[in-house]
Amino acid sequence: MPNALTIAGSDSVGGAGLQADIKAFEAVGVHCCSVVTCVTSQNTRRVSSIFPLPLRTIEDQIDSVLEDVKLDAVKTGMLYSGDIAELVAKKLKRGVGPIVVDPVLAASTGALLHSTGLVEAIITKMMPICTLVTPNAPEASRMTGIEVKNEKTAREAGFEILEMGPKAVLIKGGHLKGPDAADYLLIGNKAVKLATPRAVGDTHGTGCALASMIAAHLALDQGIEESVRNSKRMIYKAIMSREIVGKGVPCANPLAVLRIDAKKADMLDELELAGGELEKLMDGDLLPEVGSNMAYAVPGALEADEIAAFDGRIVRTRRGARIVGPARYGASKHVARIIVAASCHDPGIRCALNLKYSESNLKACREAKLSIASFQRAREPKGVSSMTWGVHMAIRKAGGVPDVIYDKGGLGKEPMIRLLGTTPEDVLTKLKRIKAKR
Catalytic residues: 172, 203, 205-208
Instruction: Report yes or no: 348 and 398 within 8 Å, Cβ to Cβ.
Output: no
Those residues with Cβ within 8 angstroms of residue 145's Cβ, 6 or more apart along the chain or in another chain: none
Q: 311 by DSSP, 3-state: which?
A: coil
Strands (E), 12-161: 31-42, 47-52, 73-76, 99-101, 132-133
Indicate the residue type of 388. T
Residue 88: name the closest of 164, 8, 31 by CA.
Answer: 8
| DSSP line for 110-150 | S-B---TTHHHHIIIIIGGG-SEE--BHHHHHHHHS----S
Assign residue 300 a region (left: φ > 0; alpha: ψ between -120 and 50; beta: otherwise).
left
Which residues make Cβ contacts (< 8 Å) with residue 238, sequence separation at least 6? 24, 206, 209, 252, 253, 254, 256, 257, 300
What 3-state DSSP class applies to 227? helix
Look at residue 391 and give its three-state secondary structure. helix
Sequential DSSP letters for 240-279: HT-B--SSSSPBP-TTHHHHHHHHHHHHHHHHHHHHHHHH
For residues 214 and 30, is the Cβ–Cβ distance under 8 A? no
Distance separating alpha carbons of residues 420 and 121, to the nearest angstrom: 51
**CA 4, CA 329: separation in Å to the nearest integer?**
33
Most distant pair of Cα atoms in the chain: their distance:
80
> Distance between CA 67 and CA 303 in Å, rounded?
44
What span, in angstroms and rounded, lies between the C-alpha atoms of 373 and 25?
42
Secondary-structure breakdown of the chain: helix, strand, coil percentages, each rounded to the nearest 5:
40, 25, 35
